[in-house]
Chain A
Amino acid sequence: GDSVTQMEGPVTLSEEAFLTINCTYTATGYPSLFWYVQYPGEGLQLLLKATKADDKGSNKGFEATYRKETTSFHLEKGSVQVSDSAVYFCALNDGNNRLAFGKGNQVVVIP
């Protein structure tokens, strides 16, 4: 079935550093792609989304581009802040209105 793979392990970086979280997907069709963020003890918040190839989703300084040729949707931010510390999940819509999530990446931004 459709699935999402995120890079392994937590990400620790200094404030104002550049952040990249890799996400690749496997799908039979052309899914919509999402990045969600989860703060401690909370549910998920939609960060950004893209619905077709070459679309770029952006929000709060974060960006991700839907790359069909590489089946990727990498998340980037040019200058992170301590408040960006959270868990980030990549997800896709599997065509049955269900979301398939990657394992998530804990991001820790150090002042």
Chain B
Amino acid sequence: GAVVSQHPSRVICKSGTSVKIECRSLDFQATTMFWYRQFPKQSLMLMATSNEGSKATYEQGVEKDKFLINHASLTLSTLTVTSAHPEDSSFYICSALEGGYYGYTFGSGTRLTVV
């Protein structure tokens, strides 16, 4: 079946630095990828929709300059948290849409801790 690899699974960074999270579709091409943020014991909040070769579409309230998304190929999307602060600490999850209308596959998530 479809597999999405997300890396790293955990990262700790200092306040003010930037962190890049990768999301790869391993055995299929994903024209669309999604980035979510999840707070403890809460649901997933869609941050942005990433389309290969074009600019990401951000949800209302999500800072584009803080959460940089790049979808340079059909198998890779990256989320860069720039100038991270402790309030950016969260669980980030990516998802890739495989072709059809309902073929969503999720990565295993990245736990970001900003100290």
The B interface, classified by DSSP as helix, strand, loop or mixed, is: strand
Instruction: Check A43/B109 contact, CB under 8 A, given A32-B101, A34-B102, A89-B43.
Output: yes
Q: Does B67 contact A (CB under 8 A)?
A: no
Flag A17-54 by CB within 8 Å of B: 1 or 0 each.
Answer: 00000000000000010101000011111100101000
Flag A89-111 by CB within 8 Å of B: 1 or 0 each.
Answer: 10001000111011110100000
Instruction: Check A97/B111 contact, CB under 8 A, given A32-B102, A89-B44.
Output: no
Complex CA distance for A36 and B101, rounded to whole angstroms: 16
Flag B8-22 by CB within 8 Å of A: 1 or 0 each.
Answer: 000000000000000
Q: Residue of A at shortest CB range from B94? A: A43
Residues of A within 8 A of B109 (CB): 41-43
Contact between A41 and B111, CB atoms less than 8 A apart:
yes
Residues of A within 8 A of B108 (CB): 42-43
Instruction: Check A44/B101 contact, CB under 8 A, given A99-B46, A106-B41.
Output: no
